[in-house]
Structure 1
Amino acid sequence: MIIEYVRTAETPHRRVGALLACAVCMLAVLLLVFPNRADAIPAFARQTHQPCAACHIGGFGPQLTPFGRQFKLLGYTLKVGNDTKVPLSLMLVETYTQTQKAQTSPPANGFGTNDNTELEQASVFVAGRITENLGVLAQATYSQNGGLLGWDNSDLRYARSYNVDGHPAIWGLSLNNNPSVTDVFNTAPAWQFPYMAPDLAPGPPATPILMGGLAQQVVGLNAYTQINGALYLEAGAYRSLSPAFLRDVNADFNGRLSGATPYARVAYTWNLPTGNVEVGGFIFHAARGLVTTNAQGNVVAAGGPTDKFTDYGIDTSYQLLNGSNHILTVNGLYLSEQQQLDATYPAGGSSNLHDNLHALNVNASYWYENTWGVTLGAFADDGSKDLTLYGNNGSPNTNGGVVELNWNPFGQADSWAQPFLNVRFGLQYTWYTRYSGLVYNVDGMGRTAADNNTLFLYTWLAF
């Protein structure tokens, strides 16, 4: 069973030594604070004695089956047997990226303008049950792009079962570092398709802040409940971590949040004889200041006014799981963001005091025997025209699609080395019909939207 993963942006000038010390301390604390339960923190598949396909569509993350959703909601605590195993998992992702036309400059230090191979991700996970009601999923990731090890998604959960008028229910608390990483549906920004994507190719020029804009920069406490396997409610708040701490764990810092940043989520699931349907929504509001640097060149938080971002979203998902060799999933998310740029506009960073952004992401996947898969997705981003903020044409409007073919040779109950090894081979192609509001001359240097079309091949190994 592969650990859930979401890609994050890399930044230069990070401190590896301090992060390694932090990771070692985390492991030491877990083992010392819970010495009688150290045998109950294996990686998920070894902990549950279930094949990877029990929790994941296609036998590989991050798409979750109904069983996988319940496992996460119950705090990663489900355990079978009393065997003792090391609570660690590792992940390696080797990639090849080719754009239709070479980029005007290398996408990162140490790489060419096209045809790049990269160790995109090398991650270590602490994952599983700590006590009967407490579990963890914590990840640290190294990328060849930047050459640094940084902390990644982390989710510490406490969960319990209860009853509401005779109906089974779950309630829990999550301490985490990425808004929407708590979600169990693959519509949420932290877990939506594409699940693995190139970091050496052009991407959308602008998206709402909930789509990764605060990932690994904050800490939040969320309370959630699921009633009768149907109604899901979640509410919480996030605070900024200090620039000094984020430097120590090699994470981005895009500005300090003012006070608590609220996040709320609601979803309802209809469980059908052959699968399930989910419909839900998101609300998120953040007030963020600008950043500056001190005399030593370190990024610090700036005082003064803040930019306000309010995101509203609706989502839906469908899973056809009828016990046969054929699985179908459909996911959709629409986000609308209203911006009041009280900090950026007076500083001359935008043409407008008020802007907006919208993002639509839809995809459908078909899997045969949880081994062979094909996914077709489409995305459409648009928003206010702002020449100062976006440059060139001043438009964030970007549209296109993604098609991906997958082969997962392992992950079944009778797979070789189950549950210690899993691998996914992916062939992905992304195309753009419009980029930055234009089809031609999208960068002012003659580049077309189609020149950013990207061929992406990857081998994703987990053990």
Structure 2
Amino acid sequence: MSRYCKSPEAGRSTFMPRPRQWRWLLLMLVTLLGAMPSLALALPSYARQTKLACVACHVGAFGPQLTEFGRQFKLMGYTMKVGDAKELPLSAMLVESFTHTQKAQADIPAKGFGRNDNVELQQASVFLAGRLSEHMGVFAQATYSENGGLLGWDNIDVRYARMFSRGKHTGIWGISVNNNPTVSDVFNTAPAWMYPFLSADLAPGAPAQPMLFGGLGGQSIGASAYVQLDGAWYLEAGGYRSLSPSFLRHVNADYDGRVSGIAPYARATYTWHMPTGDFSVGGFLLSVRRGLVGTNAAGDAVAVAGPSDRFRDIGLDSSYLYTRGDHSVTVEALYVREQQRLDATYADGGADHLHNNLQAFNLRGSYWYRNTYGVTLAAFADNGSNDVTLYGNDGSPDTRGESIELNYNPFGQSTSWRQPWANMRLGLQYTYFNRFSGRVHNIDGAGRNASANNTLYFYVWLAI
């Protein structure tokens, strides 16, 4: 799934990628055509619905990073509407990218690509996103990715929400039905929406992360109830269960095993509001029991009868948003610790230890000027208990590094040309690895160092 929207990478597809030499021209043509009145149905649906520029809801002109107003719009179920016009709530997105690693990878990262310097139509998405009724709204995404040649479902969030008042207290309550824990969240510390919003899918990444980081994404269906009280407390609780392998094959989603029963999920935050922004602290809980995966005679993934592995994630997060005039600053941190009891994997010989743990820490700070020029600095560290059979090499998942990203949004202000219909972001991101899979040197046994995975990533992101 993407961070703005990561797409599934498993399944079947009959879709064929466009010739690479035409893509950059195609992206520019889509930007220009998106500004033509005759293509009104392809314009950003939330902006069209609210008659507001994208900067009202998003830090950095557009994308997943929400302002205080954007959070409230989502909590109210995407239902705010200005005017009586009836329009289909449709939007579209394209992401074209270039990926270069410091040293060519030993094997091709995906079928149809080279060992280095890959150009890719990373995402082509269509959204059903907007108000369905007075109290109900939707965010639903389908995404095609050249990596795998798939068109499948992506993040889904259908909401019913209402305001309430009790004495001196006011608030919002709602229900979300979605297919990925944390998709319902309104803070960008949530793994479904955290930085990096876009990243290279043709370069090496962390070998292991806690289940909260998309472990159930696109493979499950869940419902949660939430409440925001006095604009300060935010509480959410719900549960997720697996979807059938046959259904997931139809929507081209991964299948990593069947969840036993219901996987409970809970979220809490408290926000202090200030004249120039806000500061929030909170936490996550997710508990999952999941079995192993096998294949049937047709080669399709199926659940394997037997014991289940148990994953229990506890996360702590904090975020700070400052806005004043032309300047915006955001700082976000997330720490997640996962306790594992691997009854299924250990019995199957896939792990050395019955009990393991994983930790993930992410820290990010961004600055935007006039929602046009942006710079982001980030650090990440993924670590856990040693298990040679599970992770290979020295048995350590320890992977850590830093990244810097530069952004330019030529149409980033409310007064920009064809705002809010023309949206484009150029991004240049560099990720540096200090350690990879427990090692600094010879990480693959063939002399490759962690720094060989350093990645230069350039993208053009269009939303129409």
TM-score range, shorter chain: over 0.9
Letter in 2 for 1:13: R
* Greater CA drift, 296-305 or 216-225: 296-305
8 Å Cα contact 1:16/1:248 also seen in 2? no
**1:381-460 aligned within 5 A:** 381-460=382-461
8 Å Cα contact 1:96/1:115 also seen in 2? yes
Equivalent of residue 286 in structure 1, options 273, 276, 288:
288
**Aligned position for 1:108:** 110
**Aligned position for 1:365:** 366
Deviations 1:233-263 (A, max 9, x none): 0000000000000000000000000000000
* Alignment partner of 1:5 is 2:7: no
8 Å Cα contact 1:15/1:248 also seen in 2? no
8 Å Cα contact 2:3/2:194 also seen in 1? no
Equivalent of residue 88 in structure 1, options 87, 90, 96:
90
* Alignment partner of 1:266 is 2:268: yes
Q: 1:410 Cα deviation (Å)?
A: 1.3
Equivalent of residue 75 in structure 2, options 73, 76, 81:
73
Separation in 2, partners of 1:42, 1:337: 38
Letter in 1 for 2:57: C
Q: 1:16 Cα deviation (Å)?
A: 6.9
8 Å Cα contact 1:14/1:249 also seen in 2? no
**Aligned position for 2:235:** 233
Deviations 1:126-174 (A, max 9, x none): 0000000000000000001111101000000000000132222000000
Letter in 2 for 1:163: S
Deviations 1:88-141 (A, max 9, x none): 100000000000000001100000000000000000000000000000000000
Question: Gaps (5+ residues) in structure 1?
Answer: 18-38
* Alignment partner of 1:327 is 2:331: no
Determine helix, strand or coil for the equivalent of 2:206. Answer: coil
Determine helix, strand or coil for the equivalent of 2:192. Answer: helix
Separation in 1, partners of 2:150, 2:367: 36
Equivalent of residue 256 in structure 1, options 251, 255, 258:
258
Separation in 1, partners of 2:15, 2:386: 40
**Aligned position for 2:33:** none
Q: 1:10 Cα deviation (Å)?
A: 1.2
8 Å Cα contact 2:156/2:179 also seen in 1? yes
**Aligned position for 1:177:** 179
**Aligned position for 2:162:** 160
**Aligned position for 1:27:** none
Separation in 1, partners of 2:208, 2:417: 43
Q: Taking structure 2 as the reference length, what is the TM-score of the superposition?
A: 0.92
Percent of aligned pairs sharing the same letter = 60
* Alignment partner of 1:246 is 2:248: yes
Separation in 2, partners of 1:208, 1:218: 16
8 Å Cα contact 1:333/1:362 also seen in 2? yes
8 Å Cα contact 2:373/2:408 also seen in 1? yes
* Alignment partner of 1:124 is 2:90: no
8 Å Cα contact 1:8/1:215 also seen in 2? no
Q: 1:445 Cα deviation (Å)?
A: 1.3
Letter in 1 for 2:365: A
Letter in 2 for 1:62: P
Equivalent of residue 147 in structure 2, options 145, 148, 156:
145
**Aligned position for 1:303:** 305
Q: 1:375 to 1:203 in 2, by over 3 A?
A: same
**Could you say what the CA RMSD is over the residues aligned between the two structures, in angstroms?**
1.6
Question: Gaps (5+ residues) in structure 2?
Answer: 17-40
